[in-house]
Amino acid sequence: MKYYILDLSPHNSLVKYLVDQGFRIFIASWRNPTAEDRDMGMADYLDAVGEAMDAVGEIVPDQKFTPSAIAWGGTLLAAKAAQMARDGDDRLATLTRFATQTDFEDPGELQLFVSESEVSYLENMMWDQGYLDTKQMAGAFQLLRSSDLIWSHCVHEYLMGRRQEMFDLMAWNADATRMPYKLHSEYLRHIFLNNELAEGQYRVGGKPVAISDIDVPVFCVSTTSDHVASSRSVYKLHLLADTDVTFVLASGGHNAGIVSEPGHESRTYRIRTTREDESFLGPDVWCAASRKHNGSWWSAMVTWLSERSGGEVKPPAMGAKGSRYKPVDDAPSSYVFQR
């Protein structure tokens, strides 16, 4: 989906919240692919993540940083972080992931739509148009939560004549994105069906990568009602990572559980750090051993990041002398006009 899920409105923007706490934020806004991009695959997107990191490194030199990603982006980021660890690239300080899976052996409800026959059908369809269409992608997610995303609208709007007013998260959900043919096919076959990333068989740059090579602390957020990335599947990161993992289980679903700004007393979260040398705890045992808190998990992440960050640094302004990165126009720039 579109990058601004973490920057919807001033009152529920995780980006603004972190900036207000003194963190410098960079966002990679992916272009919406067309048929001309049909042959862009996982390798191209992994290279793009590397290019974004290179840009950050030039703008804020000699500083380590924390890459963050949500949903499928977190899976891509895990592969990139494993590649960096394998190749001795030590620019990462920590790693944060939101509602994202790494092990797809038991991916939850989404496996209803991903089988060998379904993938072959999608590949044939994408071959003709060069990408996975927005309606095709959105339709699958709507079926996962048909009672909320399909039937409730039918009841309220068509039967009762009560049209729901548009709000920011609903508008974002309607602003779907496409995926190139090659990228989507490789993701479904290599990562989802064959589970190669979790099993240490996925190859980046011609050599396999292993999640266990990642040696920086990880902050991993899952939600109790996630219909896309089930909490038990996300929790399997504990079996793969050979580092400290701070796991958060927040109330809410795939989107609303992440866009969970302070001020909602009905929201809760559990948090616990599993140290590198600790024995594995099953998800139910972890839940019993974790501490429950009321409110937003955002404040817990700020505490976690602050404890693992250096002192305050004033980076050079964008477009400073000698920099090749010049401002194009004010945020959110012309990206929002792309369809």
For residue 146, name the pLDDT band (cuts at 50, 70, 90). Answer: very low
Q: Which of 105, 84, 106, 87 is nearest to 95 (CA)?
A: 84
Distance separating alpha carbons of residues 173 and 139, to the nearest angstrom: 12
Region class of 108: left (phi > 0), else alpha (psi between -120 and 50), else beta: left
According to the model, what pLDDT value does residue 113 have? 64
Helix locations, the chain, DSSP H: 14-20, 42-59, 72-86, 116-129, 134-144, 146, 152-153, 168-174, 181-186, 231-235, 237-240, 283-289, 298-307
According to the model, what pLDDT value does residue 149 have? 53
Quick check: 261 pLDDT over 50? yes
For residue 153, name the pLDDT band (cuts at 50, 70, 90). Answer: low
Q: Average per-residue pLDDT in the chain?
A: 87
Q: 42-59 vs 72-86: helix axis angle to the nearest 10? A: 70
Q: Which residue would you say has higher pLDDT here, 243 or 62? A: 243
Average pLDDT value for residue range 193-219: 96
Q: Which of 287, 150, 306, 173 is nearest to 222 (CA)?
A: 287
Q: Which residue would you say has higher pLDDT here, 214 or 111? A: 214
DSSP states of 75-117: HHHHHHHHHHHHTT---BS-EEEES--S--SS-GGGGGG-SHH
Candidate ranges 44-53, 54-63, 133-142, 225-234; pick with highest mean pLDDT: 44-53
Average pLDDT value for residue range 145-168: 65
According to the model, what pLDDT value does residue 214 have? 97
Please say whether the beta carbons of 294 and 265 come within 8 A: yes
The H-or-E segment that residue 222 falls in is strand 218-223
According to the model, what pLDDT value does residue 166 have? 77
Token digits of residue 285? 């045992």
**How large a percentage of the chain has pLDDT more than 70?**
86
Q: Which residue would you say has higher pLDDT here, 314 or 186? A: 186
Burial 210-245 (b: 16+ CB within 10 A, else e): bbebbebbbbbbbbeebbbbbbebbbbbbebbebbb
Lowest mean pLDDT among 226-235, 278-287, 310-319: 310-319
Angle ∠(248,249,252) on CA atoms, nearest 5: 130
Average pLDDT value for residue range 187-207: 94
For residue 268, name the pLDDT band (cuts at 50, 70, 90). Answer: very high
Distance separating alpha carbons of residues 5 and 338, to the nearest angstrom: 16
Distance separating alpha carbons of residues 153 and 149, to the nearest angstrom: 7
In the chain, where are the structural domains located?
A: 3-337
Under CATH, what is the fold of the domain 3-337? Rossmann fold (3.40.50)
Quick check: 215 pLDDT over 50? yes
Distance separating alpha carbons of residues 53 and 47, to the nearest angstrom: 10
Provide, for the chain, the percentages of residues in helix, strand and coil under a 3-state DSSP scheme, each rounded to the nearest 5: 45, 10, 45
According to the model, what pLDDT value does residue 154 have? 63
Quick check: 144 pLDDT over 50? no
Quick check: 313 pLDDT over 70? yes
pLDDT in tens, 108-138: 666 666 677 777 877 887 888 898 887 766 5
**How large a percentage of the chain has pLDDT more than 90?**
56
pTM here is 0.88
For residue 143, name the pLDDT band (cuts at 50, 70, 90). Answer: very low
